[in-house]
Amino acid sequence: MSVYRINIVLFGIRTIGSALIREVIKNQQSLLDHHNIDLRFPIIANSNLAFFEKEDQKNNWEADVNQLTIPYTMSYIIDRAKEKGHENLIAIDATRGPEFAKSYISLIQNGFDIVSVNNIVNSLHHDYYTEVRRNLKKYNTEFLYESHISPGLAVVDTIKDLQASGDIVTKVRTVTSNSLSYIFSRFGNEAVPFSKILEDAEKLGYTHNDSREDLSGIDVARKLLIIARELDQKVELKDIKVQSLLTESISKSTSKVIYNSQKKILDRFFKIAKQNQKEKHVLRYIGEIDLEHNTFEVKLVSVPIDSNFGQLKAGEHLIELYTLNTGTTPIRIQGAAFGKQNTAKSILNDILKIAERKRTAVYS
Ligand SMILES: NC(=O)c1ccc[n+]([C@@H]2O[C@H](COP(=O)([O-])OP(=O)(O)OC[C@H]3O[C@@H](n4cnc5c(N)ncnc54)[C@H](OP(=O)(O)O)[C@@H]3O)[C@@H](O)[C@H]2O)c1
């Protein structure tokens, strides 16, 4: 079988984008040897500049990107890719924020498959969500995003497999925040103030730059929304009831300086919440979908220390899927889903899935 070349057009080249390039370079030979797949990056772009590979350049991307980038528009990238005859084009969305979502439809209409790590795109308005899927069907292209919930854990694939088998998910419970998993695991086991553990989580890189994004619950809510939509629920972010862990005085509307100087305000609330629990219970911040009662919630709960949620180690994710077939014993997907390398591996897995399906389609 001849070598199957995949041309990756990468958007976003800072933390995750560069980790992906390194992961591909690290695995390039073994992908060739074991899968006969040659992954190349002919076009790499950040928010306003793009690098276009010349035939004799390979793997020197850092120097090239620093020296040889030019301003671009999306239609220029699409035209250039066609003009160069690049086949099997996969666009990678390793951008941050909602801006790049505007380009999805035109990429799909021009035959690009898409792998995304930017989960904001799947939590935009449902009309956009369905428009993307309508176009994917029409243009026979794929959109994979396993890293949107827990990089490295096959949450989306498991749901799709359950649906394909005819089973019906009735309830979902999740811990999908690296930072809040870390914080509550330690808070349950140690006699240390909440704010001290929060600061440790910040130093270790578990939180966003502004940890209020974690404490507000929006990140967990966004992931819950993505799961809900996988379960064919027509819901928006506003339909998810979110219990924020922030107090009014240090909410997003106050400055970061004030927030940083007043984190200790949180200690009293969490000390009381800890004390008010039944014996041998710990706090966890969970997302919950109950389709029987049509509820979508993100909240602080108290769970037995010997339960699956109570046993979670610092930083671990856990997704429980209750289905009609499995009854009261849920399917559990659990593990560490932290770090740029883990995320890069998850993107690479999605790329390889698309590559294998494309190749199978060509040879069948
Ligand atoms: N970091 C992690 O550990 C992690 C883990 C899981 C998921 N994620 C998700 O992965 C995505 C990337 O994260 P990151 O940490 O790599 O972010 P980052 O360090 O902020 O880098 C974002 C990159 O995207 C580029 N970009 C922004 N808007 C763009 C646009 N409209 N078109 C093209 N490029 C654009 C930026 O270009 P400029 O340099 O020009 O601004 C930058 O290169 C985010 O959505 C994040 O939520 C990150």
From ligand 1's centre to the CA of 13, what distance in Å?
7
Q: Which atom of ligand 1 is nearest to the CA of 13?
A: 43
- Name the pLDDT band for 58 (thresholds 50, 70, 90): low
Rounded Cα–Cα distance for residues 53 and 60 (Å): 10
Spatial CA neighbour of 229 closest among 304, 133, 315, 95: 133
1: pLDDT strictly greater than 80: no
The predicted-structure confidence for 251-275, as pLDDT tens digits, reads as follows 888 899 999 999 999 999 999 999 9
- Name the pLDDT band for 196 (thresholds 50, 70, 90): very high
The pLDDT assigned to 59 comes to 53
The pLDDT assigned to 364 comes to 64
The pLDDT assigned to 54 comes to 76
**Average pLDDT score over residue span 215-220:** 97
Nearest CA owner, ligand 1 atom 25: 12
Burial of 61 (0-12, 13-18, 19+ CB in 10 A): buried
Beta partners for 8? Answer: 90
From ligand 1's centre to the CA of 10, what distance in Å?
11
Q: Is residue 186 a contact partner of residue 197, using CB atoms and an 8 Å limit? A: yes
2: pLDDT strictly greater than 90: no
Q: Is residue 96 a contact partner of residue 118, using CB atoms and an 8 Å limit? A: yes
Rounded Cα–Cα distance for residues 84 and 106 (Å): 18
CATH number of 155-336: 3.30.360.10
3-class DSSP state of 63 = helix
DSSP classification of residue 135: H
**Average pLDDT score over residue span 31-55:** 91
The pLDDT assigned to 274 comes to 97
Nearest CA owner, ligand 1 atom 15: 15
14: pLDDT strictly greater than 70: yes
Rounded Cα–Cα distance for residues 153 and 332 (Å): 11
Q: Is residue 38 a contact partner of residue 70, using CB atoms and an 8 Å limit? A: no
- Name the pLDDT band for 250 (thresholds 50, 70, 90): confident
More confident residue, 316 or 339: 316
Which stretch of DSSP H or E encloses residue 172? strand 169-175
CB proximity list for 46: less than 8 A, separation 6 or greater: 11, 12, 13, 14, 69
The pLDDT assigned to 284 comes to 98
Burial of 190 (0-12, 13-18, 19+ CB in 10 A): exposed
Rounded Cα–Cα distance for residues 120 and 118 (Å): 6
Residue type, 265: I
Q: Is residue 149 a contact partner of residue 342, using CB atoms and an 8 Å limit? A: no
Rounded Cα–Cα distance for residues 227 and 337 (Å): 16
57: pLDDT strictly greater than 60: no
**Average pLDDT score over residue span 155-180:** 97
143: pLDDT strictly greater than 90: yes
Token pair, residue 90, equals: 């996969």
Q: Which atom of ligand 1 is nearest to the CA of 205?
A: 3
The predicted-structure confidence for 79-135, as pLDDT tens digits, reads as follows 999 999 999 999 999 999 999 999 999 999 999 999 999 999 999 999 999 999 999
Burial of 166 (0-12, 13-18, 19+ CB in 10 A): exposed
- Name the pLDDT band for 168 (thresholds 50, 70, 90): very high
The pLDDT assigned to 56 comes to 57
More confident residue, 1 or 45: 45
The percent of residues above 70 in pLDDT, for the chain, comes to 97
- Name the pLDDT band for 15 (thresholds 50, 70, 90): very high
Measured from CB, residues less than 6 Å from any atom of ligand 1 are 11-17, 45-48, 94-97, 99-100, 117-118, 147, 151, 340, 343
For 1, 5, 57, the CA distances from 36, given in Å and listed in that order, are 8, 9, 21
- Arithmetic mean of pLDDT over the chain: 94
- Report the CATH architecture of 4-150+341-363: 3-Layer(aba) Sandwich (3.40)
CB proximity list for 245: less than 8 A, separation 6 or greater: 180, 215, 216, 217, 266, 285, 300
Show me where the domains of the chain are located: 4-150+341-363, 155-336
